[in-house]
Amino acid sequence: MTKKASNTFDPDGPAKADTLFGLPYTTDNAKVVALPVPWDVTVSYQSGAAKGPEAILQASAQVDLFDEKVPNAWKIGIAMDEMPAKLIKKTKTLRPKAEAYIDLFTDGKANDKKAQAVLKEINKECEDLMKWVKERSLTFLKKKKIVALIGGDHSTPLGLMQAVSEQYGSFGILHIDAHCDLRDAYEGFTYSHASIMFNALKIKNLERLVQVGIRDFSEGENSIIENSKGRVKLFSDKTMKEKMFHGASWHEISQSIISTLPKQVYISFDIDGLDPKLCPNTGTPVPGGLQFWEAIHLIEMVVESGRQIVAFDINEVAPGKDEWDANVGARLLYKMANLAAISGTTKS
């Protein structure tokens, strides 16, 4: 941040949505860089997540910058990378093709020549997206910046996870979600939003996957967890709620979650990990889930434990007509960015 900007910026003044949170930063001088990935090609229920990055940018102008946990948080520096127009165009073109393929798949016609051609095209485009995300992420990670990927559907951060592996070595994923996302090529899509953690487990440097708030998963996914030899830890919503019903505090449960994480942590946050009242327009909402401040408390405890948040993502924010989901997503982004920026500085 330039000295001039520091002297003239008023953190209590009205903000414009031309920069993230109205902050006077660019990706060159910001510590946290938000990477927008407007993509929802493989969603299996409701679409709209591709509009999430732009909606969060617009909603961010309404977020007050004072943070009770992080003094002078606005001085950390948060900026959003350019909105990739090519991805917006591609997702608009590919999504109707994916919907047509899903209809054929559902009707038992997935092996039709036409269906296979569409599937091949979409899988290739999704692979290209993954490579682009990895390359773009490494550009910022190599400059010692924290990358916060803003999707889009939950397939989008795989390239960032690979980039983190390359840049930082061994790490763990704290995965907040309603779903396990451990399906192998769901509906035939290699890089489906429902397969992100199945694909993440292929990253050799991923030491452990810790899943929190899960409340909708399959027999096959449960088998993967049980056969992972402890590499995947599940804290289902039902199990956590039962502990709370018997007197356990959320703080105690959070401690047990954090104890399973390694020193370097990547946070993958699907917005449907929250109670659906906080994200009613997301693609696959499920009853139950975390409250906003429960999620923030968990992340605060990650920081207080001395662990370092090396990168994170927020996905599946579909704004809807009232923009409520984007309002929640923007506040989640600000809190996570501030906490990630100060992580690794506290002695455990």
Q: Give the pLDDT confidence of 166-192 residue by residue, as tens digits.
A: 999 999 999 999 999 999 988 888 999
What pLDDT was estimated at residue 112?
87
Q: Does the structure show a pLDDT above 60 at 2? A: no
Q: Does the structure show a pLDDT above 60 at 1? A: no
The dihedral built from the CA positions of residue 142, 69, 176 and 264, taken in this order, carries a sign that is positive
In the sheet that holds 78-80, the strands lie side by side as: 78-80, 32-37, 146-151, 308-315, 264-270, 171-176, 206-214, 232-236
Place of tokens 């356990």: 248
Flag the least confident range among 47-51, 66-70, 140-144, 156-160.
47-51
Higher pLDDT, 220 or 189: 220
DSSP state of 157: T
Flag the least confident range among 34-48, 52-66, 192-206, 327-341.
34-48
User: What value, to the nearest 5°, has the Cα angle with vertex 338 and ends 336 and 339?
Assistant: 65
What pLDDT was estimated at residue 341?
97
What pLDDT was estimated at residue 254?
98
**Mean of pLDDT values over 219-244:** 98
**Mean of pLDDT values over 156-164:** 98
What pLDDT was estimated at residue 4?
47
Q: Does the structure show a pLDDT above 80 at 277? A: yes
**Mean of pLDDT values over 91-119:** 89
Higher pLDDT, 320 or 52: 52
Omega within 30 of 0 (cis) for the link into 152: yes
**Mean of pLDDT values over 196-213:** 98
What pLDDT was estimated at residue 3?
42
What pLDDT was estimated at residue 103?
87
- Rounded distance between C-alpha atoms, residue 343 and residue 348, angstroms: 11
What pLDDT was estimated at residue 128?
96
Q: How far is CA 59 from CA 97, 184, 244, in A?
A: 31, 35, 34
pLDDT band at residue 7, thresholds of 50, 70 and 90? low
**Mean of pLDDT values over 197-209:** 98
Are 30 and 337 a contacting pair, CB within 8 Å?
no
Nearest to 180 by CA among 222, 242, 149, 151: 222
Percent of the chain residues past pLDDT 70, beyond the cut: 97
Q: Which domains does the chain have, with CATH numbers?
A: 3-342 (3.40.800.10)
DSSP state of 262: -
Nearest to 265 by CA among 220, 306, 308: 308
Q: Does the structure show a pLDDT above 80 at 32? A: yes
Are 182 and 234 a contacting pair, CB within 8 Å?
no
